[in-house]
Amino acid sequence: MPSGLLLDLYQLTMAQTYLAEGMDGMATFSLFARNLPPNRGYLVAAGLEDALTYLENFRFTGEDLDFLDSTNLFTAPLLERFDQLKFTGRVRALAEGTVCFADEPLLEVTAPILEAQLVETMLINEIQLQTLIATKAARCVDAGAGRRLVDFALRRAHGGEAGMKVARASFIGGFEATSNVRASQTYGIPAAGTMAHSFIEAFPDELSAFRAYARAYPDRAVLLVDTYDSIEGARNAGIVGRELAANGHQLAGIRLDSGDFADLSRKVRMLLDEAGLSATTVFASGGLDEYEIADLVAGGAPIDGFGVGTRMGVSADAPHLDLAYKLVSYDGTPTMKLSEGKATWPGAKQVWRHRTNGDAVRSIEDWIGLADESAPEGAVPLLAEVMKNGERTSPVEPLAALQSRRKEEIAALPEACRRMRAPVPPVLRPTPALWELRREIAAKLRPVVEAHR
C-alpha cells in the first residue's frame, strides 16, 4: 500500500512552506525516547526493518495528489514535487535487538528537509510499537527464567497489523512461538495453540471434547481444563492421557486459564504425576504479565510455559513510549529546542558503549556525542548506516539473529537494569564536545528565554 498520505497534515503544510521559501537544505532528525516508561530499566530497539520498508515504499499516488489538490491547501509546484517523490536520504540506526536507554537515538535521518519531515510520523509509529513490545516481551522472558513463552495477543492487539508486529517484536523479545498463524507464515515463527472453552462446550461433556481433540492430535494435544472446574478438568485430562499412553502416544500438556495458578498448578501437577503423566506439561494463560510470571516463578509454581496475550500485546502498564523525532541540524547548522522539560541535544550523534562483563560484576557505560567524534577508549559505536540515497546498505537480518542479539544484550546488563520494579538504567554521559555545542547554541537562544523564566 503506498503510504504517502499516512501522515499528519502539518507535514504537508510545512512542506508547502519550505518549498515556497526555497528551503531545500539537508536536515538531520534524531529519533529517541525522552524517557523510559515506569518500571523499564532498558528498551529493546525494534521496528527498524518495517521503518526501512516504509521509507523504501514512500510514494504519493495519483489519487493522493488529486485528494491533496481538492483541499485547496497546496500549490501546483508542491504537487509536482510530490509526484514521483521518493525518500532519498541516509539513515543510521541501532540494530534491532540492541538494548538502549533514554536520550539515545534509535535512528537518525539525514535528507532534504521536505523529505525528512514527511516521514516523521510513520517513523515514530513504526519504531514505537515494536520497541515497546520487544521490551515488554523481554521482561516477560526474563521473569520466566527459561520457561517457554507464547504470544497470544492477536485478539487484543490494536488491529490486525498490530497483531502481526506484536508477534514479530515479541519473538525478538524472546518468545518462542505465536498463536498468530499469519505471523507464523510471514515471519517463520513457530505457531502454537490449544483449544477454546467454546470447543469444550460444543460437546456433551468435557471428557468427550478432550477425547475428540486427542483423536485429531494424539501427539500434540494441550487440553484446556478450566471450562467447568480446573481440578475436574485435570482429572479428565489424566484419563485421556492414560488412554493416549496405552496407544503409544503422549498427552502434550494441559492449560490453566483462570483461578489461582500457584495453587492450581501444584494440584494439577500432582494429578498428572499420579496418572503417570510426568512428561505432560502444565501451561498457564489469562491476564499474565512479567510481574505475575515473576511471582509464580519465585513461588516455585510447577508451570512449564506461559501464554501471554493482552498485557504484553498492548504493553498494558506502558502502552506508549515518549519517542521524539527532533531536528538536530539544518543546512549545516546544529539546532535544538528549549521547551520546558523537552529540551534536546543538538547535532547528528553517535552513541558508544563500553561493557565490563566480569564474573561477578556486569557494568555498562554509554556515551552520547557528535557523530564525527572519535570513540571514547574501549567503547564501540552503536549507530550504523543502514540506508543511503534511499536504498538499504545492509542485508535484512533473520529474526532469529535479532532474538539472539537481544538475549546477549540483556544477559550482559547489570542486575539493577533488569529489575521488574524500579530498575536503575545506567547514566548516559554526554561527551565534552556535545556539552560545549549545547552550551553555545543555548547561549544564543538564552537571552530571549531568560526574560521569562
CB of 54 to a copy of itself, least distance (A): 8
The answer to whether residue 18 forms part of the interface with a copy of itself (CB under 8 A) is: yes
Q: Kindly tell me which residue out of 136, 311, 353, 405 binds a copy of itself, with binding defined by CB under 8 A.
A: 311
Closer CB to a copy of itself, 335 or 394, in the complex: 335
Q: Output 103 or 409, the one with its CB closest to a copy of itself.
A: 103
Query: How many other C-beta atoms are found inside a 10 Å radius of the C-beta of residue 433?
Result: 13
Taking CB under 8 A as the rule, does residue 411 contact a copy of itself? no
DSSP 396-417: PPPHHHHHHHHHHHHHTS-HHH
Nearer to a copy of itself, 5 or 428 (CB): 5
Task: Please choose, out of 158-166, 291-299, 356-364, 379-387, the segment that lies near a copy of itself by the rule CB under 8 A.
Answer: 158-166
Query: How many other CB atoms are there within 10 angstroms of residue 122's CB atom?
Result: 19
Q: Which of the ranges 79-87, 156-164, 245-253, 269-277 carries the binding residues for a copy of itself, by CB under 8 A?
A: 156-164
Separation between Cα atoms, residue 130 and residue 181, nearest integer Å? 19
Name which of residues 221 to 250 contact a copy of itself (CB under 8 A): 226-232
Q: Which is nearer to a copy of itself, 143 or 200 (CB)?
A: 200
Residue 132 or 413: the one with the smaller Cβ distance to a copy of itself is 132
Residues 22-41 that bind a copy of itself (CB under 8 A): 23, 25, 27, 29
Q: Does 217 bind a copy of itself (CB under 8 A)?
A: yes
Taking the complex as a whole, how short is the minimal distance between the CB of residue 36 and a copy of itself, in angstroms? Answer: 16
In the complex, minimum distance from the CB of residue 144 to a copy of itself, in angstroms, rounded to a whole number: 21
Cα 161-134-264 angle, rounded to 5 deg? 95
Residue whose C-alpha is closest to residue 425's, from 30, 38, 31: 38
Which residue of 45, 91, 129, 251 would you call a contact of a copy of itself, by CB under 8 A?
129
Residue 301 CB: number of other CB atoms within 10 A?
A: 21
Dist CA 83 CA 65 (whole Å): 7
Residue from 298, 316, 424, 433 in contact with a copy of itself (CB under 8 A):
316
Q: Which of 76, 216, 360, 422 binds a copy of itself (CB under 8 A)?
A: 216
Beta carbons within 10 angstroms of residue 190's beta carbon: 11
Question: Site for a copy of itself (CB under 8 A): how many residues?
Answer: 109
Nearer to a copy of itself, 215 or 421 (CB): 215
Q: Which of 45, 154, 275, 364 binds a copy of itself (CB under 8 A)?
A: 154
DSSP state of 154: G
> Is residue 162 a contact residue for a copy of itself (CB under 8 A)?
yes
Distance (Å) of CA 379 to CA 187, 288, 406, 413, 448: 34, 38, 19, 15, 39
Per-residue CA distances from 425 to 41, 101, 141, 163 (Å): 5, 7, 19, 29
CB 128 within 8 A of CB 47: yes
310 near a copy of itself (CB under 8 A): yes
Among 39, 199, 218, 375, binds a copy of itself (CB under 8 A): 199
Counting every residue, how long is the chain? 453
Q: Is 281 in the site for a copy of itself (CB under 8 A)?
A: no
Q: Which residues contact 408 (CB under 8 A, 6 or more apart)?
A: none
Is residue 157 near a copy of itself by the rule CB under 8 A? Answer: yes
195 lines the binding site for a copy of itself (CB under 8 A):
yes
Q: Is 350 left (phi over 0), alpha (psi -120 to 50) or beta?
A: beta
Per CB under 8 A, 163 contacts a copy of itself: yes
Binding residue for a copy of itself (CB under 8 A) from 76, 246, 443, 451?
Answer: 451
Give yes or no for a contact between 226 and 233, defined as CB atoms under 8 angstroms apart: yes
Residue-wise DSSP of 84-127? T-----EEEEPPTT-EE-TT--SEEEEEEHHHHHHTHHHHHHHH
Q: Which stretch binds a copy of itself (CB under 8 A): 14-22, 293-301, 375-383, 401-409?
A: 14-22
Judged by CB under 8 A, which stretch of 100-108, 122-130, 290-298, 360-368 contacts a copy of itself?
122-130
Q: Residue 392 pairs with which residues in a beta bridge? A: 387
What is the rounded distance in angstroms from the CA atom of residue 381 to the CA atom of residue 374? Answer: 9
73 touches a copy of itself by CB under 8 A: yes
Rule CB under 8 A: choose which of 110, 135, 170, 180 binds a copy of itself: 180
Q: Does 56 bind a copy of itself (CB under 8 A)?
A: no
Question: Among all chains, which residue has been given the C-alpha cell 510545512?
Answer: 14
